[in-house]
Structure 1
Amino acid sequence: MVNIRSNYLEQTPVLRWVSESQLEEIHLATLEVLERTGVQVDHPEALKLLKDAGCIVKDNRVRIPNWLVEDCIRLAPRKIVVANRKGQRVMHLESNRVYFGTGSDLPYTIDLETGIRRRSTKKDVEQACRVMDYLPNFDFVMSYAIASDCAAKASDLHQFEAMVTNTVKPIVFTTHDEKNTRALIEMAAAVAGGHEELRKNPFLVLYSEPISPLVHTREGIGRMFACIEHGIPVTYVSGVVAGGTTPVTKAGCIVQMNAEALSGLVIAQLKQKGASIIIGGNGTPMDMKNSTTLYGSPEHAMNYAVMTQLSQYYQIPNFTEAGCVNAPVPDAQAGFEAGINLLMAQLTGANLVHDVGYLEGGKTGSLAFLTMCNDFIDMVRYMGRGTRINATTLAVDCIDEVGPGGNYLAHQHTFDHFRTEIWSPQLFNRLFWEIWEEKGAQGIADHAKNMAKEILASYQPEPVKESVRAELQKIIADVEKDEFSA
């Protein structure tokens, strides 16, 4: 194989789930799928670009030669920088830098006041973004909830308005179709101060995807092309169910996901050399007993570990999942499922890690669970920094000064280092039983619910200008009345 930038920066500790030779085996299998089986492409411009580049095209089936795939991998940027709403470049997607955020479009929400599961609304998007704007371990936001109480044709734009007016953090967005994508780009340009400012420091990333197995839809590519034209980064990744839309074997699932991601990358680079594309995928297996997608399963974390290594092998930023669970409520199962896959994402060095805080296999949201996940992320980041080993931390002088039979509690070395050497959570209970009872005998879910309420009662994110808010509302109204034109 041609040498594809296989050397990448490493931090300590870094988990490697498969070997370099196994990665190459997956890559070669992916090339075989793309050249032998090919993909279906339902976008006329993309079909022409592929044919002109040397692909075998018959009707809408495209077989992509391996040399073209490897050429396009080399064209894709190895680093993508995403700004926040204020134009500050805050997310550097490269190497093993890890950023956490929520997912989008949850149809149900567990009401913070009543505890009842109900349909999500635009207010739920607003509140989730306010909470995430406050919580330090969420680096970017997605809508979390669906604005089901808004006009369906513009609900995606209502969600973007709710996000951009309730957080300054970077946004990963979804849209219904190409037309609404272009409308949303106009909204983003209004916030950024014009298209050139948006291009210089994009504060948003598109999430679009093919349809498994191996179909690139007209709308999926249309959304991607609209963003490429305006310099907005694109995640173009598979959302699969192993055993349903991919082979049930983990390796087969990964090969197909990689084929879908790399064929999307080829299309992006043919549209514009150096287009900011983020690869990866959402590789959950199917529970064969009840047909659910297993977000909190071990296979879920294992698939993403390999997909992350593949992106590092190519040196292309990746998009993956963690902190999402099958538990319907924020209980012990939810905590374990979220913690395990968050730790895997941190240690493998994934870049954009989304869907944090999903309950019920991606159907239900909870502000209390989001708040709990802030602590979970804090813990895995602490572990991801590794163990510092130097003359100071080895503490030989300190050990000698205390000597046999002494204690370290009053020693200056302890005072100097305990804050960095012992992790301190916000919500975890570490009290003796009697003290815990005196303080109300509350568990972490109770503490998280109270904290979320306190955030909503006391915290307001930095607002956008009223003139910008009015422009956002005008664009949405034009789409609702079918009067918007890009």
Structure 2
Amino acid sequence: MTMLTDSDTVKHTRRRVKRDSRRKARVPNQHLEVPYIQRNIRPYELLTEANLDKIEAATDQILSEIGIEFRDDPVTVELFREAGGHVTKLAGETWNIKFEPGLIQKLVSTAPETFTQHARNPANSVVIGGDTTVFAPSYGSPFVMDMDKGRRYGTISDFENFIKLAQSSPWLHHSGGTICEPTDLPVNKRHLDMVYAHIRYSDRPFLGSITAPERAADSIQMCRILFGEEFVNNHCVIMGNFNSTSPLVWDGVSTMGIRTYAEAGQASIHLPFLMGGAVCPVTIPGAIAQNLAETLVGCALTQLVRPGTPTVMGSFITSMSMRSGSPTFGTPEPALGSLVMGQMSRRFKLPLRCAGNFSTSKVADAQATGQGVMSMLSAVQSGANFILHSAGFLDGLLSMSYEKFVMDTDLCGALHAYLNGLTVDEDSLGVESLRVGGPGEHLFGTPHTMSHYETAYWDSSLNDDAPYETWHENGAEDALSRANRQWKQTLAEYQAPPLDETINQALLDFMAERKASMPDSWF
């Protein structure tokens, strides 16, 4: 192994600084930076209409013959009873509701096909639905990890760091939600600090709390302070991301939270968490049929509360290791499920959230990259409109990685170029560039090359595409080391977007009042 002297290290550092300065001076990819992606490639249509009909018929069978169980929320049960659901009282505060074929489809028909989630910076508002795609960071990990400190429980400082990294990336469009769990804060109060962090350190849209209806209400109230009461009454400014309890259960915490968001006219995502062979059929068509049943019922609830409220179908289909019983991520069969869910969302004219950059790898290695690309490509090719878990996901969603976050946002940049598609016209065909020198002559100096060289290709800020000798002379850094250096540099250079001090103080006062109203709870 070649040993580097101190002199070598200084030289390599100088070269790296010069290289980074040149990259920064080029300001690569500015032509692609947008508040959200307007897709210019068609989504992949995997199944025929006849096969989609079969899946929808199976969904109707599930809804009409097996039904959905509802727990601890009689208000929701009564709403579905009045809408035509067949209610059977079970033990305690539990009900089974069966729905005639076509009823749920009719109920969701009042939901908008597209909607805008407004950001405090209007330039960063996103359109969700139709031909648009929005990338958001990963969500929900209790642990964080990096090359320096290893794997550890997440804190509010980590939470803020990931918001800053997301805000600094031109390839993400949304601040996300529970990017990691800030386990150093009380469970019943941490939602206040999380929502405040999104508001304070980002000027993009964000997700609110969903762990209790009163926490959902707090999230919405903080948006009223930020945007103004009247604006929130008439516009979507926040979304909740709700999980059903598969198989075929909606619990009261989730349904009350969905109703809280819908009553305020705010959007919600309705997401089963399906593990094949454990809580759904092991076969993907069966998983899709069950997924549809659970998510469409969640979407229908929003329309019973407030017709026309934005709502998002969700799909989270995973495979499982049949040897160990552990969930697996980034495998090909669930990727096919995402493609079909895209077709179903277009059939029902509803926005879709599905897939993301998934991996069960414990570090940001080749396994993580391979699984992540498999899953992420299925999401964008399905036509998904809101892609949570676009950056940072490791360890089967248990860990949020600083290095992988940077590597994943770089992939998001490449996907911007991929989804931009191709324009075929006289200029892009470039025949004149061949005419300049004729056969056997290079095209480096032609007017066509000179007019396009800055924007023709996406330019990674992380990859090293230099020859081996140059790479070695510059320190022989691998991608993980470059990512480690990049996230630290990004945080060092981060500047918070301006926030009106009157609004900031009103938010802090609201948080202080709410925290003083209850004792700390760690459960």
Normalised-by-shorter TM-score class = over 0.9
Query: Which deviates more, 54-63 or 196-205?
Result: 196-205
CA distance in 2 between partners of 1:290 and 1:467 (Å): 55
Tell me, yes or no, if the aligned pair for 1:195 and 1:230 is still in contact at 8 Å. no
CA distance in 2 between partners of 1:252 and 1:300 (Å): 12
Q: Which residue of 1 aligns with 2:199?
A: 164
Q: How does 1:31-430 map to 2 (within 5 A)?
A: 31-42=60-71, 43-59=73-89, 60-88=95-123, 90-111=125-146, 114-142=148-176, 143-192=178-227, 194-356=228-390, 357-430=392-465
Tell me, yes or no, if the aligned pair for 1:228 and 1:234 is still in contact at 8 Å. yes
Partner secondary structure for residue 420 of structure 1: coil
Tell me, yes or no, if the aligned pair for 2:291 and 2:315 is still in contact at 8 Å. yes
Partner secondary structure for residue 189 of structure 2: helix
Partner secondary structure for residue 84 of structure 2: coil
CA distance in 2 between partners of 1:293 and 1:169 (Å): 32
Q: Which residue of 1 aligns with 2:491?
A: 456
Q: Which residue of 1 aligns with 2:49?
A: 20
Question: What letter matches 1:361 in structure 2?
Answer: G
Tell me, yes or no, if the aligned pair for 2:105 and 2:296 is still in contact at 8 Å. no
CA distance in 2 between partners of 1:288 and 1:373 (Å): 29
Tell me, yes or no, if the aligned pair for 2:124 and 2:173 is still in contact at 8 Å. no
Tell me, yes or no, if the aligned pair for 2:139 and 2:389 is still in contact at 8 Å. yes
Question: Alpha-carbon deviation of 1:300?
Answer: 2.9
Q: Which residue of 1 aligns with 2:26?
A: none
CA distance in 2 between partners of 1:483 and 1:86 (Å): 33
Partner secondary structure for residue 328 of structure 1: coil
Question: Alpha-carbon deviation of 1:391?
Answer: 1.4
Question: Alpha-carbon deviation of 1:45?
Answer: 1.2
Q: Give aligned-pair identity as a percent.
A: 23
Instruction: Find out whether 1:471 has 2:501 as its counterpart.
Output: no
CA distance in 2 between partners of 1:88 and 1:385 (Å): 20
Question: Alpha-carbon deviation of 1:472?
Answer: 3.1
Partner secondary structure for residue 453 of structure 2: helix
Q: Which residue of 1 aligns with 2:13?
A: none
Query: Which deviates more, 466-475 or 179-188?
Result: 466-475
Tell me, yes or no, if the aligned pair for 1:87 and 1:203 is still in contact at 8 Å. no
Question: Alpha-carbon deviation of 1:144?
Answer: 1.3
CA distance in 2 between partners of 1:163 and 1:183 (Å): 14
CA distance in 2 between partners of 1:292 and 1:473 (Å): 42
CA distance in 1 between partners of 2:317 and 2:134 (Å): 19
| TM-superposition CA deviations, 1:71-113 (whole Å, max 9, x none) | 223211111111112345621112231111113221111146x
Question: What letter matches 1:91 in structure 2?
Answer: V
Question: Alpha-carbon deviation of 1:10?
Answer: 8.1
Q: Cα gap change, 1:158/1:290 in structure 2, threshold over 3 Å: closer, same or farther?
A: farther
Q: Cα gap change, 1:463/1:239 in structure 2, threshold over 3 Å: closer, same or farther?
A: farther
CA distance in 1 between partners of 2:363 and 2:39 (Å): 37
CA distance in 2 between partners of 1:38 and 1:433 (Å): 61
Question: Alpha-carbon deviation of 1:276?
Answer: 1.1
| TM-superposition CA deviations, 1:326-367 (whole Å, max 9, x none) | 111111111222222222222222100011221001011112
Tell me, yes or no, if the aligned pair for 1:131 and 1:456 is still in contact at 8 Å. yes
CA distance in 2 between partners of 1:11 and 1:31 (Å): 34
CA distance in 1 between partners of 2:454 and 2:164 (Å): 28
CA distance in 2 between partners of 1:278 and 1:171 (Å): 15
Tell me, yes or no, if the aligned pair for 1:107 and 1:363 is still in contact at 8 Å. yes
Partner secondary structure for residue 116 of structure 2: strand
Question: What letter matches 1:291 in structure 2?
Answer: G
Partner secondary structure for residue 153 of structure 1: coil
CA distance in 1 between partners of 2:463 and 2:213 (Å): 44
Partner secondary structure for residue 152 of structure 1: coil
Q: Cα gap change, 1:10/1:310 in structure 2, threshold over 3 Å: closer, same or farther?
A: farther
Tell me, yes or no, if the aligned pair for 1:88 and 1:201 is still in contact at 8 Å. no
Question: Alpha-carbon deviation of 1:267?
Answer: 1.8
CA distance in 1 between partners of 2:485 and 2:197 (Å): 23
How many corresponding residue pairs?
A: 474
Question: What letter matches 1:415 in structure 2?
Answer: M
| TM-superposition CA deviations, 1:290-345 (whole Å, max 9, x none) | 33222222223222121122111111001112112111111111122222222222
**Structure 1, unaligned stretches of length 5 or more?**
1-8
Q: Which residue of 2 aligns with 1:29?
A: 58
CA distance in 2 between partners of 1:363 and 1:305 (Å): 25
Partner secondary structure for residue 254 of structure 1: helix
| TM-superposition CA deviations, 1:272-293 (whole Å, max 9, x none) | 2112110122111222223322
Tell me, yes or no, if the aligned pair for 2:145 and 2:152 is still in contact at 8 Å. yes
Tell me, yes or no, if the aligned pair for 1:371 and 1:448 is still in contact at 8 Å. yes
Question: Alpha-carbon deviation of 1:150?
Answer: 0.4
Query: Which deviates more, 339-348 or 47-56?
Result: 339-348
CA distance in 2 between partners of 1:175 and 1:224 (Å): 8
Q: Cα gap change, 1:479/1:214 in structure 2, threshold over 3 Å: closer, same or farther?
A: farther
Q: Which residue of 1 aligns with 2:4?
A: none
Tell me, yes or no, if the aligned pair for 1:346 and 1:381 is still in contact at 8 Å. no
Tell me, yes or no, if the aligned pair for 2:138 and 2:400 is still in contact at 8 Å. no
CA distance in 1 between partners of 2:257 and 2:202 (Å): 24
Tell me, yes or no, if the aligned pair for 1:173 and 1:206 is still in contact at 8 Å. yes
Tell me, yes or no, if the aligned pair for 1:14 and 1:347 is still in contact at 8 Å. yes
Q: Which residue of 1 aligns with 2:475?
A: 440
Tell me, yes or no, if the aligned pair for 2:284 and 2:334 is still in contact at 8 Å. no
Tell me, yes or no, if the aligned pair for 1:295 and 1:362 is still in contact at 8 Å. no
Tell me, yes or no, if the aligned pair for 2:208 and 2:216 is still in contact at 8 Å. no
Question: What letter matches 1:154 in structure 2?
Answer: K
Q: Cα gap change, 1:472/1:111 in structure 2, threshold over 3 Å: closer, same or farther?
A: farther
Question: Alpha-carbon deviation of 1:469?
Answer: 3.4
